[in-house]
Structures are given as C-alpha cells and as structure tokens.
Amino acid sequence: MSITSEPIAENAADTSGKRRRRKRDKTIHTGESRLAFLLLAPTLIMLTVIVGYPIIKAIYQSFLTDPGLDSSGFFNEGNSWNGLANYKHWLLQQCPGAGGVTESCPTGNLGAQFWSSVGITIGFTVVTVLLETIIGMCFALMMHRAFKGRALVRVAILIPWAIPTAVIAKLWIVIFDPQGVLNNVLGTDFAWTSESGPARAAIVIADVWKTTPFIALLILAGLQGISNEIYESAKVDGANAWQRFWRITLPLVKPALAVAVIFRSLDVLRMYDLPWILTQGANGTTTMSILVVRQLNSGLNSASALSTITFIIIFAIALGLVRLFNANIVERGTR
C-alpha cells in the first residue's frame, strides 16, 4: 500500500499545483484586463461623446421632416416623424431621360443626383487607387535600391504628399487654366475643367500626383522588412527579376499594400476638397461628400439621411476590401 500511495500522492500534489497556478494566472489576467479597461475608459467615454452621439443624432434626424411648405401651401416647421421618406427620396427616385447626368435632373429629384454621385465617387476611387498603387510600387522599388543620392530622391518624392490639399488644388487650377502651364506646353487653349471627361481626368491627375507618395511610403516600409538573403537564394536557384518580384516581393509586401489600398480607398470615397476647389462639383464631378454639403443648405434632416447612406456604402466597401485582402483588423492572441 505504501508503494502505490506515493505516486498517487505525487499526482494529486501536481494536479493541485497546476490548479493553483491556473487560478493565479487567471487572477493576473483578470487584474490586467481591469487595469487596461480603466486606462482606456476615458478615451472610450470621449469617443462616445464626440463620435457616438453625433452619429446617433444624425440617424435620428434622418427620420424627421425638414422645414418647408406642406401640400396645402402652409409653412411647416419640420422635425416631425417622417419614417423612411428621406431615404426613399435618395434611393428610389429616378430622373427619366437624364442619362445619369446630375445637371439635367430636376432640383427636387434627389435620387438621380445621389446615384450619379455614387457612380462618380466609385469611378474616382477605382481609377485613382489603381494608378497610385502601380506608380507607388514603382517609386517604392526605386527608393528601396541603394544608390547615391537616395535620401534626396525620397524627400523629393514625398513633397507632394506633405503639401495641403487646398494648396495642391490651387496649383493645378493654374496648370489647367486655358492660359496655364499645360496649354503653354502643349500649344493649345483648351479649358480642361469645362467638360465632363477632361474635368474628371484633371481631378484624377491632381489626386494621383499628390497621394502616390503615401502609398509608395507604405510599400517601402514593407520592402525594408524583406531580407536580402531570400533574394540571394532565389538568384542561386535561377529565378529571374520578374519571378523574384512575383514570387517573393509581392506576397511579402502584401500586408503593407493592403493597408495602403484600404486607407486610400476610404480617403477617395470621402473626397471633397480637391474636386470642390477645382470644379465646384460641376461637369460631372459631384462626389458624395459634395452632395452632402450641398444638401445641408437645403435640409438638415434630409442631409442626415444622405450622410447615413453614404456611411453605410463606405463601410460596406471597406469591409469588402478587408475581406479581399484577408486583413486582420483585430489580432487574436493565443495562450
């Protein structure tokens, strides 16, 4: 009995020791969680007041009527319950025979203006982000190489991104003016912002020129994390330059590239200042943000509905991009 009881006693002691350690570790983690919550509480409260309250207030106002004349011709003070009427005006009304052009739609036809702005905004997003990604990748690969004067080249490439957008827009107004720099170089007198196609191209060119360095900087940070030994091994195995880029550089730089594309897409989807300064939203350049600001002058509650719809669209696109790149928004820890 004494021989068999000793292993049993040792096993019981080990089990009780493991239980005490697990209990102690759980207590430590619980204490750390409480401390982390207490440290984050002021920030969470501030975000709730500054961000959460305006969002909830805007959503509530989107279900109310705007001041104006009612069906009998009397003035209505507004702010009465309106249900989904504001959303129906933006989402369901169409403009017959307008061909999607905002300027040819009646003033009261909000739906045609909204869908036109959605198409214009998404078009700007696809074209600008695609061009910025391609050019930014080329710039990042160039800045990543070791050559004399590399620091000066990096600074020169980053200068457009450091200049405020309003200054950039004014600069490009001078360039695209009928008597501006571009026409003097080309020997023409074309008004670049007077028609739909050239006006949109002007906005794309200005935006790509300004924000390509942002993507190049993020990609460069990803390139600097790749060891040269990987490339040397690939060269020994006979991989050419294109194979090294496609099989090594692109997969390893994908996290940085995903962050760049997602951030820039969200930035273009809410673009306001650049197209407004260049064209004031005329000639088929009215983005969703410009439409929201215009609607604020007509009716706050209707503008709140439009802002809510815009937020949902941008959130859905952001979620789709995160799923496309398989990006982890929250890193799950394992113990």
Question: Domain containing 246: what range?
Answer: 85-325
Q: What is the pTM of this model?
A: 0.76
Whole-angstrom CA distances from 319 to 117, 118, 322, 327 are 21, 17, 5, 10
Residue 134 inside a domain? The answer is yes
- Mean pLDDT for all residues in the chain: 80
- Total of domains in the chain: 1
Residue 250 has pLDDT above 70, yes or no: yes
Residue 294 is part of a domain; what is its CATH number? 1.10.3720.10
Residue 169 has pLDDT above 80, yes or no: yes
Residue 67 inside a domain? The answer is no
CB 124 within 8 A of CB 204: yes
Residue 182 inside a domain? The answer is yes
The pLDDT confidence band at residue 104, using thresholds 50, 70 and 90, is: very low
The pLDDT confidence band at residue 215, using thresholds 50, 70 and 90, is: very high
Residue 271 inside a domain? The answer is yes
Residue 234 inside a domain? The answer is yes
- The predicted structure's pLDDT at residue 201: 92
The pLDDT confidence band at residue 190, using thresholds 50, 70 and 90, is: confident
pLDDT digits (tens, 9 = 90+) for 115-167: 889 999 999 999 999 999 999 999 998 888 877 777 788 888 888 888 888 89
Residues 255 and 166: their CA atoms lie apart, in Å, by 31
Residue 68 inside a domain? The answer is no
Indicate left, alpha or beta for 66 from its phi (over 0: left) and psi (-120 to 50: alpha).
beta
The pLDDT confidence band at residue 94, using thresholds 50, 70 and 90, is: very low
